[in-house]
Amino acid sequence: MLKRLNHIAIAVPDLDQAAKFYRDILGATISEPQALPDHGVTTIFVDMGNTKLELLHPLGDTSPVTKFLEKNPQGGIHHYCLEVEDVSRTYAELAQHGIRILGAPKIGAHGKPVIFLHPKDCFGCLVELEDE
């Protein structure tokens, strides 16, 4: 089922400041900001060669990242993303095991279907699964 780690997502209170830190201080290659209205976030990806960091910032007042930042004003790790062969098949298999999935599959930042698994079923971590 699992393939590889795709990215680790970090919620940040200031997207420009975070981008400058990774680009100007640490010398990383970063993407342009991408608004994802269906997910309520704006993202920037930091290319790490073998994986990525995803910088998340709320897009609108109803963003799930807004609540996260209220609890963690400095930001922090929001979720991690693992690749799977087929999100739709994985969705059905996980549901059979009683794993709670937060909503229906959506298209994520990489243009591929994604689902999120409830942290209470994943040892306290929000897990995103994405088609490989």
Active site residues: 128
Give the tokens for residue 91. 């969705």
Element (H, E) at 5: strand 2-11
What is the C-alpha separation between 49 and 2, in angstroms, rounded?
20
CA dihedral of residues 85, 88, 89, 93 (deg, nearest 10): 120
Give the tokens for residue 43. 């993202």
Element (H, E) at 37: none
Of the candidates 95, 81, 5, the one whose C-alpha atom is nearest the C-alpha of residue 104 is 95
